[in-house]
Amino acid sequence: MQRQSLSTLKNVSAQDRKMIQDIEAMLGPEPSEMGFVKNLFWGRFREDLVFPYPAESRAERAACDALLADLEAYLRDEHPVILIDQEQYIPDWCIRRLFEMGVMGMTVPKEYGGLGLGVTSYNRVLELIGRYCGSTAVMVSAHQSIGCKAIMLFGTEEQKARFLPKVAREYLSAFCLSEPNVGSDAAGQETRCVWSEEEQCYILNGEKKWITSGALAGLFTVMARQQMPDGKEKITALICTPDMEGVEVFQKNRSKTGIRGTWQARIRFTNVRVPKENLLHKEGKGLNVALTCLNYGRCTLSAGVGGAAKRAMDQSIKWVQTRYQFGRPLADFELVQQKIARMAAYTYAMDAMLYLMTGMLDRGDQDIMVETAITKVFCSEYGWKVIDDAMQLMGGEGYMTENEFERLWRDNRIHRIVEGSNEVMQSFIFAYGGKQLAEQMLAVQQAVAWDEEATPAENLLRIVRNGLNPTVLQQAIPLGAQLFLGIKPARPVIRRVHPLLTGYAERLSRLVQYHSHYVKLVSKWEREDIVTHQAQQARVADNAIRLFALSASLAKMDRQLREGAHGPAFERDRAALAHLFD
């Protein structure tokens, strides 16, 4: 039985119906294979997507290890972290040094002058930078994850040959999506482009805001609204450069609470002539370009926060072991121990989620948009919690500007806002994660439910006809048993886990069963109201976030056990896993 679009829901406002239609158009057709988290909504646990936990090849890991060694020596001995924060800029010599080391082009293919490293290696580098300097981590991420990523993913061979060598070795790139009136609503672009047959170019007009490195970049990826031949308006992606006539960076930066070394520009485009060869992907496919790039940006954001959180945890552990009060080290006090245990659990889960996610990207999984959103929400929320707890353990010393905690604290607050605010991400996780299940439920309902707008004869004919359809019965009977008789779906069986972890696997299986059952019950209770009831959406999303965190952590521990991990660090990881499942 074919799923029904949610835009066919009755008793929803015209505004909400249009919003659903716009979102469906923006997301495009569903990938051919349903991703891991979407399967959780159905009550299924796709073991093959998380077991075995992904790992880099030996050659890739060795290349990344060599880069990390050089980079850490530079960050530790030369990088002016305090100056960057106080003077609110990253010196040119620092940016040049990062280009020389290959950091700024590490994901650019070797044939275009980059290092050709994978997503996992790239995020390992961002994690290291995040341990030292939040501003630098954001600059590097904005350049490679979103600034020039669109050219790597969607560019023509001519575009790649023209631009990638320069962004790998010479200049920064910037991603121009946000506008004065456009933040979370990416589809609401007011910047416009019009194709001129006479001049054979796009004429671009509009203004962009919050453009990281916009005043420093040599290349812009710009999103603009364009009217299609059928009269509909869609978003198109264009490549622009600052030397084009009509491009004006009229505000280089604004002073911020954190990540002070980064610059966020405002850029005005006035009758900018953009040649046809600078069209990225296809006309009207700009949001697909933007959302795909944001998958990578949400990973590197998580990596930077993860590095900062690990740094905060390590430093706070040293502090509580050497700081004495009431004749005892702080580490002896139970509430301090509780905070440290919580830090270890959160950082373990953050690490597990991030590198499961990057492994999925490296192997080419298509349906990962929900997973990247979940990783971003978890890492930004709990990474901030780790840093805030570290600040609490440091007491007054942590609040002083000469200590790094205060800077870590400021630098990492922004991540709950950018790359999609966490509240918007919760609604997205609910809507896109459960979309296919909701469409299937709607199809069943429309097949057998009484329609007030139809005549009794029409209703009876449709219900009898569908009631005799084996496909409808196969789906309607178990769904009805769950919704009206309270019979829960069968628990998924998790078989691939290490024998020492079977207890955790059984608990996770029960949680997946509960999650799927709860989603269906909420859909029954709320009906059309679920479209606007964000509190219910957030509750379902939080369940999905927890399930992905537990699944990733279980898969990571499974690999550690199979590889024979041992020692104090491993025992801490085992305790962290127990804390997560507690």
SS3 136: helix
Neighbours of 284 (CB within 10 A): 20
Separation of alpha carbons 28 and 213, rounded Å: 30
Separation of alpha carbons 133 and 135, rounded Å: 5
Residue 500 phi, psi (nearest 5): -70, -10
Separation of alpha carbons 108 and 115, rounded Å: 6
Closest CA to 376 of 173, 166, 562, 548: 548
SS3 234: strand
Residue 184 phi, psi (nearest 5): -70, -30
How many residues can be counted in the chain?
582
Which element (helix H / strand E) includes 58?
A: helix 58-77
Neighbours of 510 (CB within 10 A): 12
Task: Answer for the pair 262, 211: CB distance below 8 angstroms, yes or no.
Answer: no
Q: How far is CA 14 from CA 10, 19, 428, 432, in A?
A: 10, 9, 20, 20
SS3 73: helix
Amino acid letter at 401?
A: T
**Residue 165 preceded by cis peptide, ω within 30:** no
For 14-50, letters b (16+ CB in 10 Å) and e give eebbebbeebbebbeebeeebbbbbbbbbbebbbebb
- Catalytic positions are 419
- Would you tell me the crossing angle of helices 435-448 and 470-485 to the nearest 10 degrees? 100
